[in-house]
Structure 1
Amino acid sequence: MKKRISLSGFIMILIAIQLNVGCTSKKEKEKEYDYNFQDSSLEIDERVNDMISQMTLSEKVSQMRYDAPAIARLGIPEYNWWNECLHGVARAGEATVFPQAIGMGATFDKSLIFKVGTAISDEARAKHHRFSDQGKRGIYQGLTFWTPNINIFRDPRWGRGQETYGEDPYLTGRMGVNFIKGLQGDDPKYLKVVATAKHFAVHSGPEKSRHEDNYQTSNRDLKETYLPAFEAAIREANVQSVMCAYNRYRDEACCGSNLLLNDILRKEWGFDGYVVSDCWAINDFWKPNRHGLSETAVEASALAVDRGTDLNCGNAFDPNLEEAVLKEIIDEEKIDIALSRLMTARFKLGMFDPDKMVSWSKIPYDVVCSEEHYKLSEKTARESIVLLKNENKTLPLKKDIPSIAVIGPNANAKQVLLGNYHGTPHNSITPLKAIKEKLPNAKVHYAKGSDIAKGWPLLQTIPSSVLHNGKSSGLKGEYFDNKEWKGNPKITRNDSVINFVWMPKKPIDSLTSDAFSVRWTGQLIPKESGNYRIGLRASSAGKLYVNDSLKFEFSDDHEPKTRYFDTNLKKGIASRIKIEYYNYHADPQAQLLWAKLDDDLLSSAIEAAKKSEVVVLCLGLSPDIEGEEMPVVLEGFDKGDRSEISLPKTQIALMKEITALGKPVIVVLMNGSALAVNWANDHVPAILESWYPGEFGGRAIADVLFGDYNPAGRLPVTFYKSVEDLPDFKSYDMTNRTYKYFKGEPLYAFGHGLSYTNFTYSNLKVPETVTISENIPVIVQVTNSGDVNGDEVVQLYLSHSKAVNDGPKHSLVGFERINLDPNQTKEVRFTITSKQYASITSEGKEHINKEPIRIYVGGKQPNSKNEIEDSKATQVLTKEITLK
């Protein structure tokens, strides 16, 4: 007979089972986690605090450098914080290359920039997980990206202005916010990547003196110009990281500024992310002839952390912070605060959780360089192109022309597609290549025509026909699986030319890391006598020897740069060549280049033009001569900046010679900053501005030239007529700078851009009176009154009847890019907030006067000579609003 169990007994058994399960789970949990910070069910704050509590002081300090080492005993892997994605994932192998940031600014398309940010972060995530699966955790392989650059492009001479979205704080803020949101994603728990708003703050050149300069501004300029884009990035986009700048501001180094990092960033704006120094900026605190703020690296490191810099790109913090704590220069508690911000970011990225928990880890690698991203890059390039001039409807050109000349130093220069801080493209579609594709039945005559500037020729790969290695053409290549050319080479082969981008495979199949080295040897035997420039364009590090003499060496190059020397070579006379190259990161490249310095480039250009019905002149600048703190000193250029804003003289001479032939001429500009193309404006019927347009830039240019795309880009910067129009470069006072304060007549105004169709504005609706602090609704109708489909950039400006303290003439407060078919009308709505119509006082405070304000709506800025006339000719409608 079976024994029955009472109800109470049954309940007791259930309780016992539950308790036993609970005990088992607890035991299993204890076995699963050695430390509480490994438990993904805990809140991030709790996990971060537990992690830091396990660390020694030395370990804490080690995690505050950009190349943080592993802490093996805690199971914390190494992590390199340095990564770049200004207009595509950079320096990490093949990636989609979008137009440079200044070109993105010219699109005036907020939703497009969000899509670009999303595409870039897709590729970033896919690349990171691929690297991680391969055990790679080096530079450019992480998820913390030092972009976007939202400094204000206040002066066209600044070489890094190409990295920004232009000169206007509102435009910069809108583009920056959307780009950041695209990068960081919308997952409620995990960040897609970390974006970094840089360089905080009051930073825009000169490059050559940025490590020692001390800038001053009024409170009004600070609040009105230099801070709004950063405030928007923090308050609206919740950017997780901010990079402080090299220079001082009001006597404090930006990376040690109580005003910037504590009072404004954290206290006023509530920023809760981390601050990273610009690279080696902390060294400027104490090194001779720089800021002179500290006597030693120990004091400099303590000052930076005490004022709010959490992460050091450089070598100052480790081990100096440890010594600073031991000497009681700084409390260890400050180290803990900084480290908690850093580790919070890593936890938010899911770095200490299984990949299966992080939605972003599931992005497949085939998004990298996908067709979808290629189309987005090409679309962005098309939208960025600005039609500056189109006299007598010179453009678009007809596709049935029998012949065309494509001339100029930028017509077939791949580097000019890219700008700086770029990735490695799979495609490099130059204007020449694209025009040949567009016109398969036409004769396309090409000539360089001139150097990019006097003393700066366009270098090309040295052909195998002049390189010799015994009986073979080319150079002998010895490939080693280490960085020091040690031991016997793993591979020895003949390389016909030195023109390598080792993507995606490395040159040695058995490599498990990114480190390898190559030694090339042989002879260079020219077929013509003359003066030559010989260069080596490479990433990482290398040396070039000629006849056993070291001509140059370089190291720690984070993106490919060209080093060179000039020499005289004799026809048929051999020179011994030796190149020693080593690589240490994920984007290995090496090219051996040259150019003949005394070549007659003009004659062949004139012949090409004479044989053609139309001439396309591809002129402008190059990222090889405008950029970040460069060793370039040429006429009109100064260490990456410019001392003149006109086209280089070599190009002006070419343009005059070609135009004198009487052929129809179109000038296509490719550059990162405003150009005073005064002569072209007076003598050339059509001018396009295409910036550094990305890997599909040539195709976008050809689409516009031949009418397959109707241009609608707008200038994000003012094009001045002369450097004489500009104040002192080092002055950060906004007087007579940018469209908001410039008192002269620009060559082309901010917001300017033409179309192949016409747009008319009507039915502007705004309230006649508004109560102070209320928002102002604005409604306008826009009609495509022309014959072809096109985009229009509707721009909304505001001015005060009484300018406060020489405030702006008018300010951009809204814009929308819309597409309209012929005869189609769309209604566009804006909302102007009270913050936007407030004036900034001399104390830097927002204040609203009971004075009328005026708004302007149109496809461009209001005409200062006729700013209140409601005229179809100006296509700017205006209304006055009374504040009560």
Structure 2
Amino acid sequence: MKRITPLAQSLVLGLTISLSTSAQPHQASQFRAKADSIIALMTLEEKIGQLNLPAAGDITTGQAASSNIAENIKAGKVGGLFNVKSVEKIRDIQRVAVEESRLGIPLLFAMDVIHGYETMFPIPLGLACSWDMELIERTARLAAEEASSDGICWTFSPMVDISRDPRWGRVSEGSGEDPYLGSQIAQSMVNGYQGGDLSQPNTILSCVKHFALYGASEAGRDYNTVDMSRLKMYNTFFPPYQAAVEAGVGSVMTAFNEVDGIPASANRWLMTDVLRNQWDFDGFVVTDYTAINEMTAHGLGDLKTVSAKALQAGVDMDMVGEGFLTTLQESLNEGKLSEDQIDEACRRILIAKFQLGLFDDPYRYCRAEEAEEVIFSSEHRQEAREMATQTFVLLKNENNVLPLSKDTKIALVGPLAKNRENMPGTWSVAANFSESVSLYDGLINALGDNATITYARGANIVEDALLESRVSIFGKPTYRDSRSAEEMIEEAVEVSKDADVIVAAVGEAAEMSGESSSRTDINLPTSQRKLLEALVATGKPVVMVLFTGRPLSITWANEHVPAILNVWFAGSEAGDAITDGLFGDVNPSGKLAMTFPQNVGQIPIYYNHKNTGRPLPEGQWFQKFRSNYLDVTNEPLYPFGYGLSYTTFDYGELQLSKTSLTGNETLQASIEVTNSGEYSGQEVVQLYIRDVVGSITRPMKELKGFQKISLAPGETQTVRFEITPDDLKFYNYDLDYVWEPGEFEIMIGGNSADVTTQAVQWSK
């Protein structure tokens, strides 16, 4: 007997509503009547059930026949599931929801599709260093195509948390330190996942996270306390979240931390006043993993109390904790919340299901033939390889050691040289690690039968075996060697004797960054530092290929190693992409999205800082009673926006259309950039502005625009920027978004520290 769906029942009851579910991300309101027709049929228990998002760990192929979650699905007590993979499993679980529950409401299926599905692209911090919005949007589009064919309709991405502390492991999952660049990337990612129409089956619902301020955790320790002024919130940390909302993101995830003393998941000012009332967000809000339950440890009350607080704050869906499922009915009976509040949360989730077309076809994302065709396809892998090359940042290239000639005798040394499982990096939950390309594989692929490569491991990732065990998880082994450090270094030196150049594959293992991977010591691990010292002592040129998910303190390497190529974690095709860079088939063009400190004592260090009342005079290291250190300069090791090329770019004089402007006039700023080297290359030309005098103190410079250009040797291009009063706006002391007349410094250059500057007067 065919089941009567909720929509069919609505028609029987005379609630005649359109069945068309074509949806733009912004247009949730058109589905309100449809959602209400279903809510009218639901019991209170079923409404609360839509607010429940468990993880699917106890559902096994067979599929959902004998688990607690399966029974809850049949009872209408589950709104969605996450971390189920494959069409077969998802189709079977969805069948239980639509054929064995009373109303047949389909489930959402989610996964952490962070920087790719099975085809892995560079980690988000690496992608940010491409400064290429079309490329970044394309990675999200390809990830959506793969995931959506394999049953997934919702991703917990992008993470847009601004962070200025590389001790925090999750900087790998974000876009760095700058609100302008972060906002551009947030919009690109949302557009890539969601496209222009969520009813299209190859798009997926995006979830921006973590709202809010998660990247500012004290001491760089994950899940830790956050405390900041609202001025800093609005001017620095809020913009990327708001940009994602303006791009039409369908869902928002709460942060673990507190905001103004109230955990984010219970913070009505944050979730309702800011997110919905100020920014007009019309999607639904989901917590992070057990975030409601964790508010009891914060000291906000028992599970029933904090669950009610979360719903009242504006949270719609409870991830894993089941506080909503087990306590909301009791709180309702006690008059601590209203059924209207439950209805509103349920409505938002149902609307998302309408937007995704799940009521038209619950199995529309289960397309096995398409999945077989697109997932980890040769076309996607080739794109991943090309994209990865755009994220590499050349930090040093003394005496033009790079690019290498393909007839060079290479000694490949280092604990990350032959480790394909670590190439995709953190948050690669759907990756096919066995098919990833290691650096060793890449060199063999590039050189073939002509390869003259010797290899030695050289060192373990870290000397401490216990520490190493904490980072060799999630299917990414570090292959610890039982030999002594001295034996491994001796072997590395021996295999380097006849080489023309030594390529040292060093840095972090993939899970040394990411969630719950905070570090107090961001130096290169001692075991690898000793290896580098021995390699440099051979007198051979050394190329340091740096794998990392965060800025590291590599001061010694910068002083002694002639060439350093930062490759982050470059994804499935890492080895081939890195080889493309090493041999000059691709010219590195990445620019840092996050400052590298000289040492951990400088943290937090970021380019758009404010001045002090006692600034250190330019060009000086130390002056007593000035803002400086006794032991190191104030300068970073590598500034924001920094990155070298195999060629050189010369900047001409900054040209301004005017030096005195009034009102809404537009300022034209231009500069000539010439490729004065021998290779074709790409340069990211960056525009910064300083508001010299304000009603509140203003940063020394702020990124306000950038353009990535391509130049052949000898070619010159004029790069132009248009600047309007909108580019001068900020939140003032009263949190009004304004611009103020006065003097402004216009700066253009190749990184935040190397700019040419002119002043303008702008009056109202």
In which range does the TM-score fall when normalised by the shorter chain? 0.7 to 0.9
Match of 1:662 in 2: 539
Letter in 1 for 2:558: N
Match of 2:758 in 1: 879
Cα distance in 1 for partners of 2:158, 2:489 equals 40
Deviation at 1:365, TM superposition (A): 4.5
Cα distance in 2 for partners of 1:846, 1:58 equals 44
SS of structure 1 residue aligned to 2:395: strand
Residue among 239, 242, 246 paired with 2:252:
242
Cα distance in 2 for partners of 1:697, 1:190 equals 31
Deviation at 1:560, TM superposition (A): 4.0
Residue among 107, 124, 130 paired with 1:79:
107
Deviation at 1:715, TM superposition (A): 0.6
Residue among 130, 147, 152 paired with 2:162:
152
Residue among 121, 125, 132 paired with 1:109:
132
Residue among 797, 801, 814 paired with 2:688:
797
Pair 144,793 (structure 1): closer, same or farther in 2 beyond 3 Å: same
Residue among 446, 449, 453 paired with 1:444:
453
Residue among 121, 140, 152 paired with 1:98:
121
1:836 equivalent to 2:727? Answer yes
- Residue by residue over 1:626-657, the C-alpha shift from the partner in whole angstroms, topping out at 9 and shown as x without a partner, is 3212xxxxxxxxxx111012111111111101
SS of structure 1 residue aligned to 2:298: coil
1:66 equivalent to 2:66? Answer no
SS of structure 2 residue aligned to 1:82: strand
Figure out how many residues of one structure are paired with residues of the other and give that number: 678
Contact 2:150-2:365 at 8 Å conserved across structures: no
1:764 equivalent to 2:743? Answer no
Which of the two has higher C-alpha Rg? 1
Match of 2:308 in 1: 302
* Root-mean-square deviation over aligned CA pairs: 2.9
Q: Any stretches of 5+ residues in structure 2 without a counterpart?
A: 1-6, 22-29, 55-77, 80-96, 612-627, 629-633
Letter in 2 for 1:768: T
Contact 1:38-1:353 at 8 Å conserved across structures: no
Pair 739,691 (structure 1): closer, same or farther in 2 beyond 3 Å: farther
Deviation at 1:456, TM superposition (A): 4.0
Deviation at 1:449, TM superposition (A): 0.8
Contact 1:301-1:321 at 8 Å conserved across structures: yes
Match of 2:620 in 1: none
Pair 79,30 (structure 1): closer, same or farther in 2 beyond 3 Å: closer
- Residue by residue over 1:45-91, the C-alpha shift from the partner in whole angstroms, topping out at 9 and shown as x without a partner, is 211001111110011111101142637454424525431111012xx
Match of 1:40 in 2: 19
Letter in 2 for 1:325: L
Match of 2:94 in 1: none
Match of 1:231 in 2: 242
Contact 1:158-1:206 at 8 Å conserved across structures: no
Cα distance in 1 for partners of 2:747, 2:642 equals 15
Residue among 359, 365, 370 paired with 1:352:
359
Cα distance in 1 for partners of 2:394, 2:734 equals 41
Pair 382,210 (structure 1): closer, same or farther in 2 beyond 3 Å: closer
- Residue by residue over 1:131-183, the C-alpha shift from the partner in whole angstroms, topping out at 9 and shown as x without a partner, is xxxxxxxxxxx311110110012101001110001111111111111111010
- Residue by residue over 1:343-401, the C-alpha shift from the partner in whole angstroms, topping out at 9 and shown as x without a partner, is 11110000001489999999665122223211221112100000001111111111112
Contact 1:214-1:250 at 8 Å conserved across structures: no
Deviation at 1:267, TM superposition (A): 0.7
Aligned 1:479-494 pairs, distance under 5 A:
none
Give the TM-score, by structure 1 length: 0.72
Cα distance in 1 for partners of 2:252, 2:482 equals 45
1:419 equivalent to 2:419? Answer no
Moved more, 272-281 or 429-438: 429-438
Cα distance in 2 for partners of 1:240, 1:190 equals 14
Contact 1:714-1:753 at 8 Å conserved across structures: yes
Match of 1:686 in 2: 563
Pair 765,737 (structure 1): closer, same or farther in 2 beyond 3 Å: closer
Match of 1:22 in 2: none
Contact 2:639-2:753 at 8 Å conserved across structures: no
Match of 1:17 in 2: none
- Residue by residue over 1:435-469, the C-alpha shift from the partner in whole angstroms, topping out at 9 and shown as x without a partner, is 2222332321111111111214999xxxxxxxxxx
SS of structure 1 residue aligned to 2:721: strand
Contact 1:797-1:857 at 8 Å conserved across structures: yes
Bigger proportion of residues as helix: 2
1:611 equivalent to 2:522? Answer no
Aligned 1:252-267 pairs, distance under 5 A:
252-267=262-277
Deviation at 1:611, TM superposition (A): 2.9
Cα distance in 2 for partners of 1:31, 1:325 equals 28
Deviation at 1:662, TM superposition (A): 0.5
Pair 199,362 (structure 1): closer, same or farther in 2 beyond 3 Å: same
Cα distance in 1 for partners of 2:744, 2:258 equals 37
Aligned 1:531-546 pairs, distance under 5 A:
none
SS of structure 2 residue aligned to 1:433: helix
Moved more, 188-197 or 154-163: 188-197
Contact 1:718-1:739 at 8 Å conserved across structures: no
Contact 1:219-1:842 at 8 Å conserved across structures: no
Cα distance in 2 for partners of 1:225, 1:404 equals 45
Match of 2:294 in 1: 284
Cα distance in 2 for partners of 1:597, 1:56 equals 65
Contact 2:593-2:641 at 8 Å conserved across structures: yes
Match of 2:91 in 1: none
Pair 196,768 (structure 1): closer, same or farther in 2 beyond 3 Å: same
Pair 164,709 (structure 1): closer, same or farther in 2 beyond 3 Å: same
SS of structure 2 residue aligned to 1:669: strand
Deviation at 1:199, TM superposition (A): 0.4
Residue among 396, 400, 404 paired with 1:393:
400
Cα distance in 2 for partners of 1:32, 1:330 equals 28
1:623 equivalent to 2:488? Answer no
Cα distance in 2 for partners of 1:112, 1:446 equals 34
Cα distance in 2 for partners of 1:823, 1:182 equals 36
Bigger proportion of residues as strand: 1
Deviation at 1:807, TM superposition (A): 2.6
Letter in 1 for 2:761: T
Residue among 737, 748, 751 paired with 2:641:
751
Deviation at 1:187, TM superposition (A): 2.4
Identity of aligned residues (%): 32
Cα distance in 2 for partners of 1:692, 1:419 equals 5
Cα distance in 1 for partners of 2:221, 2:609 equals 27
Deviation at 1:773, TM superposition (A): 4.5
Give the TM-score, by structure 2 length: 0.83
SS of structure 1 residue aligned to 2:290: coil
SS of structure 2 residue aligned to 1:618: strand
Cα distance in 1 for partners of 2:536, 2:681 equals 30
